[in-house]
Structure 1
């Protein structure tokens, strides 16, 4: 029985834990050769080992998404191992240990580092990967946004507004190469990083949702697999909210 991603190679950044790990495991289960791209080597290798134990195919590449050199090295390593790249999930972000501050007072060096990962990282990775996708006849990119883009969320929300803009602009730039670019905007999701950031306040977030529970990483998987697959062959430039009804846009 064939799977949706047989013979496909998909890179997932920030895949050592949380939602990124859920994406990586699900893609491998559907036949993809998965690249776990993360700075956390110990956890990333652990995800690869778990995928292989379940019969899947995966490799770890230590990657700093804010670095053009690191992104280029990833493409070279993946091409050597698997022949090329068909899909990219730009999930990596500074989040679990994110500082809280105002835009008008946040330390400027921290702000620039934060944005270099949380916003620019998606562009850095796309610039490195798209030639490989083009050479293979096309591909799909999924950026990780957040409902924070539509709410007051300081520089975190600002980065996600940027991700949404990147998604729409890049969709037009690479559409002629048969590369699609979309984004997923998760609502409050029960990950270790969210528990660190929100603590007991997460319970209050749930009260404002149409569906009265926190999201789980697995809740994001269906949208990600759909957007990466041929089933979404005429879907690009879209930001899909998977948020339990937290946001409404007309």
Structure 2
């Protein structure tokens, strides 16, 4: 398939893990991809791998918590590819995340965490929406998590915020033909998850999932590409769980 031929896509947090898989999948379907991340070494490597596989990709550094950095990324994409058609807000502090309670987490760390994991999606959307609007619309996918429905301290709180942000932005931008949806993965077997979640806790989580295994980044690709594509032309403001049945919502 080539659902994204001639279109550009920004994927934040694309230097590794889920973001890298999203970037490669978009490129494989014809998108011109901006691999955006703070990790230049890994990000450039992902872009090189995409190009080596016959795709189109460039790397650009971004700190999504900084509105000026987000705006610079949007300007770079426009200069490079002429237009911004799609955005995946995947960047987050996760691997190596501090484990603490809401009532005790150091305030400076909490603000930094929320600046990336919640405000970052808004900063990036604010940076791209005018170009999308001027060019007939576009689509945005935010990365949520099943943590939004489970106790997960400030990580879960950030994902609750992402869900609300997704719905509010869908309402605000619908008239601009910009669709905004979110994917809420269950536990995904990535390097970052392995650094955060103890093995015995993973086993317990998996035992309670109807499809009894950890997810993989590849399990999320279909949902991401669908929500970005014209196949989802009348889908906006939705949070799509891809979680092996971990969360059943009525």
Residues 1-250 of structure 1 aligned to structure 2 (within 5 Å): 3-200=2-199, 201-250=201-250
TM-score (norm 1): 0.99
CA deviations on 1:84-118 (whole Å, 9 max, x unpaired) are 10000000000001100000010001000000000
Distance in 1 of aligned mates of 2:203 and 2:50: 32
State the alpha-carbon separation in 2 of the partners of residues 102 and 71 from structure 1. 30
Q: List gaps (5 residues or longer) in structure 1.
A: none
Q: Please report how far the alpha carbon of residue 136 of structure 1 lies from its aligned counterpart in structure 2 after TM superposition.
A: 1.2
Separation in 2 of the partners of 1:204 and 1:193?
A: 18
How far apart are the structure 2 equivalents of 1:98 and 1:61? 24
| Partner SS for 2:215 | coil
Deviations 1:42-82 (A, max 9, x none): 00000000000000000101000001110111111111110
Question: Which runs of at least 4 in structure 1 moved beyond 4 Å after TM superposition?
Answer: none
TM-score by length of 2: 0.99
- 1:199 shift after superposition: 2.9
Return the alpha-carbon distance in structure 2 between the equivalents of residues 99 and 3 of structure 1.
40
Q: Secondary structure at the match of 2:96?
A: coil
Shift of 1:204: 1.5
Cα deviation, residue 132, structure 1: 1.0
SS of alignment partner, residue 100 of structure 1: coil
CA distance in 1, matches of 2:208, 2:34: 36
1: CA distance, partners of 2:141 / 2:129: 13
* Counterpart Cα distance in 2 of 1:123 and 1:235: 20
CA distance, structure 2, for counterparts of residue 76 and residue 115 of structure 1:
24
